[in-house]
Amino acid sequence: MSQQPWSREEFEQKLRDKGQYYHIHHPFHQAMNKGECTKEQIQGWVANRFFYQMCIPIKDAAILANCPDMETRRKWIQRILDHDGEEGDPRLGGIEAWLRLGEAVGLDRQDILDEKLLLPGVKFAVGAYVNFARRATWEEAACSSLTEMFAPEIHQSRLDTWPEHYPWINQEGFSYFQMRLSQARRDVEHGLAITLDHFNTRELQEKALNILQFKLDVLWSLADAITLAFEFNRKPFHGLADQQICHKGLM
């Protein structure tokens, strides 16, 4: 016989407990927030995280494409506008704000766009997330966005520690982290409501926890790839090529 579903409150708590595996606990993120990273390491993270940034609206468009519910689409579409920015709106979209963070840490905007520092491991991790959103149901894909429950804390910790640890970073670069504090909280409210409503048997609730773990794995793998390249100096094709090599497109 199948087990009783957890109550809404118990289920939400189990989702929130997954925060113990959030990338805020990854050694690379911990080092960044303790001021232990070099300029090259910060640049490596910013340039690679940009790929995640670029793919978020593509992932959200995939969710919209799979969602027959107009009310949900009306709310979900805001996520795309948050990242792409709206025409005529002086507020920055997330992608532009991230490019400015890139400039603030001393990177060239065109180099970021040309993926000069992008690692294959990061592409694979982010690609897995986008492809999951394409293939899964829209409720499952919405559930996978719930790592955002834990994101305001990591953005806030950067705002709290980076200006002191990395005085060479131009302060204007931090506006992305500031922006996301409120945007992530609003997104979570919506994503969580969808998840708590849809995953309403014990089997489905366990599936939701597994989906959230998948997304935690994506973020952890991304940080692992960056660690190998920028902390242990083992970029792909180390010893075989002078410059960084990575395929383009093909996702």
User: Which residues lie near ligand PQQ (CB under 6 A)?
Assistant: 56, 94, 145, 147-148, 151, 154, 180, 219
What whole-number distance in Å separates Cα of residue 133 and Cα of residue 137? 8
Select 181 or 228, whichever has its Cβ closest to ligand PQQ: 181
Select 65 or 241, whichever has its Cβ closest to ligand PQQ: 65
Cα dihedral across residues 62, 15, 93, 250: positive or negative: negative
Q: 200-239 burial string, b = 16+ CB within 10 Å, else e? A: eeeebbbebbebbebbbebbbbbbbbbbbbbbeeebeeee
Select 153 or 203, whichever has its Cβ closest to ligand PQQ: 153
Q: Residue 79 Cβ, how far from ligand PQQ at the closest point, in Å?
A: 7
Q: Residue 23 Cβ, how far from ligand PQQ at the closest point, in Å?
A: 6
Select 211 or 229, whichever has its Cβ closest to ligand PQQ: 211
Q: Residue 99 Cβ, how far from ligand PQQ at the closest point, in Å?
A: 14
Select 39 or 185, whichever has its Cβ closest to ligand PQQ: 185
Question: At 49, is the secondary structure helix, strand, or coil?
Answer: helix
Rounded (to 5) percent helix, strand, coil in the chain: 75, 0, 25
Q: Residue 22 Cβ, how far from ligand PQQ at the closest point, in Å?
A: 7
Q: Which residue is nearest to ligand PQQ (CB)?
A: 147
- CA 215 vs CA 4, 56, 58, 126, 234: distances in Å: 26, 13, 16, 10, 25
From the list 153, 205, 154, 194, the residue with the least C-alpha distance to 13 is 205
Q: Residue 219 Cβ, how far from ligand PQQ at the closest point, in Å?
A: 6
